[in-house]
Amino acid sequence: MCGQIHGPLRWIGQNLRVKSAALLVLVVSATAHADARVPVTLADALAAAGRAPGAQIGPHEIAAAEATVDAASAWPNPSLGLSTSRLTAQLIAGATLPLPILGTVGAAKRVARAEADVVQAEAMLALRDLRQRVVMTWIELQRAEGDVTATQVAAQQAADLEHIAKGRLAAGTGADVDVTVATAARARADVAYAAAQRADDAASADLAGLLGWDPSRPLATAGDPALGPGGDLDVLAQKLAAHPLRRAAQMRVAAADANVDAVLVLRRPGLALEGEIDYDDRTIGGASPWDNTDARIGIALELPVFARIGDRARAARATAMAERMRLAATEAELGGRLVAAYRRWQAATERLASLQRDVIPAQEKAATLSMQAYREGARDLASAVLAQRDLASARAEVNDARAAAAQAYAELALAAGEDVHAP
């Protein structure tokens, strides 16, 4: 009887040694895979965001808008005409010089200046959005790395269960169905581990693409993301007055108002200086061609009678009113976003704190007690492995909760009009 027992136990011990060696190879392989990655802190990613290709668009748009402001002060082009006559002057030269002295140039320059301010505000929003995407992608990469670790542990524990089931079957205390279920569970765990590694590679490529780096070079996060403090909601609400989105909406209102003024200026008549020289006009009766030369100078008024300035003014005023309504909608939306982001941040941080304070200690204690009971012979190894799997699942949940809290804090900072910084 004793020999019948020692035989299966010896088989289990040999298989456990083989299994441990295989798991050691898996751990070493995963560690080497992680070591091959380039570590990137959140501060490094945010610093690189300012040099990313997406960050180089705004300066060129601002430069173009500033050049448009300078171009808006240009005067209309003068005109020159040459003609001849069979009976009068042999050569007639005329020139017209428009004089935009009735406010048209100033109005055009104010419009260009206001539109340049809008471009600058939108460029700041684009850069801010890029930095926010970098933060979110960095957090997703860290979440993916945590999933790799969690699925790796789950794969190891699934292999433990498979070997235990096979040992029990060899000892005559198990069933074929237990081996089949354990083998299927190990296969699913291996698939999940491989999928987590691919997701990790994809998150690395996403971050590299945003920063303008080589996406084939694997990245790894270093350090922790910012989780808070979020601050008091009333204090954050006071910052909405200087929110970049609100400032951009105000700039659009100012540009629309400047456009209204520019349209109203067009009601004034256009003024132009005209001059003409008639060379060798034989009707004068002089002794020489120069004696027969005459010159004329005058002023011309361009009357905007058929320009439909009233319709254009109504359209400009309607556009300005639409921008004011858009500003009011933006202010209301910002207030709602801030409260929603603050509540989500509270829920995420409370969930993370609860998992770290209550769940993880309880799972660690359960795993320790299960292993101790196994060593004392009170329970079998499967119970200890299951307890370890539950602990790994809880740690994976903590990893997900930490990433969710970091993302919620980044969204809260964005809703409050602040910039996300590295902790």
Q: For residue 298, tell me if it sits in a domain.
A: no
Q: For residue 264, tell me if it sits in a domain.
A: no
Do 177 and 114 contact (CB within 8 A), yes or no?
no
- 404 shares a domain with 340: yes
Listed residues 200, 223, 246: the one ending a domain:
223
What is the distance between the alpha carbons of residues 244 and 144, in angstroms, rounded to a whole number? 32
DSSP 273-307: EEEEEEEEETTS--SSTTTT-EEEEEEEEE--SSS
Q: For residue 158, tell me if it sits in a domain.
A: yes
- 250 shares a domain with 131: no
- 161 shares a domain with 16: yes
What is the distance between the alpha carbons of residues 394 and 404, in angstroms, rounded to a whole number? 15
- 218 shares a domain with 161: yes
Listed residues 223, 243, 264: the one ending a domain:
223
Q: For residue 94, tell me if it sits in a domain.
A: no
Tokens 């490529």 belong to 205
Q: In angstroms, how far is CA 27 from the centroid of its own chain?
A: 35
- 166 shares a domain with 35: yes
Q: For residue 239, tell me if it sits in a domain.
A: yes
- 244 shares a domain with 174: no
Closest C-alpha among 404, 243, 271 to residue 330? 243
- 246 shares a domain with 174: no
Q: For residue 131, tell me if it sits in a domain.
A: yes
Closest C-alpha among 92, 68, 106, 93 to residue 282? 92
Count of domains observed in the chain: 2
**Full domain range(s) for residue 146:** 1-77+119-223
- 352 shares a domain with 342: yes
- 164 shares a domain with 129: yes
- 232 shares a domain with 213: no
Q: For residue 93, tell me if it sits in a domain.
A: no
- 136 shares a domain with 250: no
Do 179 and 186 contact (CB within 8 A), yes or no?
no
Residue 225, classed as helix, strand or coil, is coil
Q: What is the CA radius of gyration of the chain?
A: 39
Do 214 and 48 contact (CB within 8 A), yes or no?
no
Residue 267 phi/psi, 5-degree rounding, is -70, -25
- 249 shares a domain with 205: no
Q: For residue 290, tell me if it sits in a domain.
A: no
Listed residues 173, 206, 223: the one ending a domain:
223
Tens digits of pLDDT across the chain (423 residues): 333 333 333 433 444 444 444 444 444 444 545 558 899 999 999 999 999 999 999 999 999 999 999 998 888 889 999 998 888 888 999 999 988 888 888 898 999 999 999 999 999 999 999 999 999 999 999 999 999 998 898 898 888 878 888 887 888 877 788 788 888 889 998 999 999 999 999 999 999 999 999 999 999 999 988 888 878 899 999 999 999 999 999 999 999 999 999 999 888 888 899 999 999 888 888 888 888 888 999 998 888 888 888 899 999 999 999 999 999 999 999 999 999 999 999 999 999 999 999 999 999 999 889 878 866 767 776 777 788 788 888 988 999 999 999 999 999 999 999 877 766
